[in-house]
Structure 1
Amino acid sequence: MGNMWPGYFTMFSIFKNIKDRAETFLKEKNCITDCLSKSEDKTGIKKRYLAVGAVSIMGLYLLFGYGASLLCNLIGFAYPVYFSIKAIESPNKEEDTQWLTYWVVYGFFGISEFFSDIFLFWFPFYYVFKCLFLLWCMAPFSWNGSRVLYLRFVRPFFLKYESAVDSVFSDLSGRAVTAAEMVTREGR
């Protein structure tokens, strides 16, 4: 129980810092504060509440509107890219394995989503669930989504069809080399 309090104080200090920066911004003279001041004069609503309302509407749009797709892709891509680079640069092999596992699961998810997105888009809160799924896949604990899905589904599938897929790729690479040689011969 004693370990919980530092986390709360950290979150409190983060929110206090955001609040202080927002109040400082609202006191500055710029085009946004000018618009907020004009709106405050016309509506009688303080500009800090107008700003909170605008940010809330944008947040809801990002969660439930067309912006949700962008937000999910940023969550599922930007954060893992950063930590994958850090893992590459670190001598710890476990980090490499964790992020490689994430990218394999993310790839399978992306392929399945490509073919089903037209249907999934119509489900309410699809992007909220997608964001939660991606967060679970990259969570920093041993039973995160990437590890669970990889061990239960991806790995058994891969091991079952590995030799067949290897022969297909070998055949394709052989055909690609033959085609490249033919093109270079014809080019001469």
Structure 2
Amino acid sequence: MKEIAPNIWADIINAISDQDTFVGKIFGKVEEKSGRSRYQTAKLLAFVIVAFLIFSTSAEVLCNLICFCYPAVKTIMEIEVKEKINFNQWMFYWVVFGLFTISDFFAHIIGDIFPFYWLLKFIFFLWLFMPSCRGAEKLYEKLVKHCYNRQ
């Protein structure tokens, strides 16, 4: 469990360092224009996202946007490949995302009682979709597959 945060950070570093990806190219341009390293920019962006998720009244939009966009791209990429190595990971991710979308109807009530709801949801979804964690697949293996095989 304690290796989750370093693994997520390593995934982020890999993404911003890869000049062949959209994210890597954006961070490269920011590095070029600002004179700050892409790693400093990533840390600043992470701080801003965390602050926004804790203090902003629009935290729901940011959380759901991030939790939708990256997984949507990865799911489309998975659909396009012949070998469906990550199929279970992404299909179960969308099941969990859908369940949370329904429960978010009550998020304003939860947020009043527990102000860190959007931050914790964001961290949970990072765990679900980051390549080094593959939380959705782990959740499927531990809960759904285990319960389904018992019947």
Given the two structures, how large is their TM-score scaled by the length of structure 2? 0.60
Quick check: which has more Rg, 1 or 2? 1
Give the superposition deviation at 1:19.
4.5
Name the structure with the higher helix share: 1
> Gaps (5+ residues) in structure 1?
24-54, 162-188
Partner residue, 2:80: 89
Given the two structures, how large is their TM-score scaled by the length of structure 1? 0.50
- Separation in structure 2 between the aligned mates of residue 140 and residue 109 of structure 1, nearest angstrom: 21
Task: Find the partner of 1:133 among 112, 118, 124.
Answer: 124
Give the superposition deviation at 1:125.
1.9
Instruction: Give the fraction of aligned pairs with identical amino acids, expressed as a percent.
Output: 33
Tell me, yes or no, if the aligned pair for 1:75 and 1:134 is still in contact at 8 Å. no
- Report the RMSD for the aligned CA atoms in angstroms: 3.8
- 1:19-30 matches, within 5 Å, as 19-22=31-34
Partner residue, 1:73: 64
- Separation in structure 1 between the aligned mates of residue 78 and residue 99 of structure 2, nearest angstrom: 21
Aligned residues: 122
Partner residue, 2:40: none
Greater RCO, CA 8 A, separation 6+: 2
Partner residue, 2:39: none
Tell me, yes or no, if the aligned pair for 2:88 and 2:137 is still in contact at 8 Å. no
- Separation in structure 2 between the aligned mates of residue 160 and residue 119 of structure 1, nearest angstrom: 36
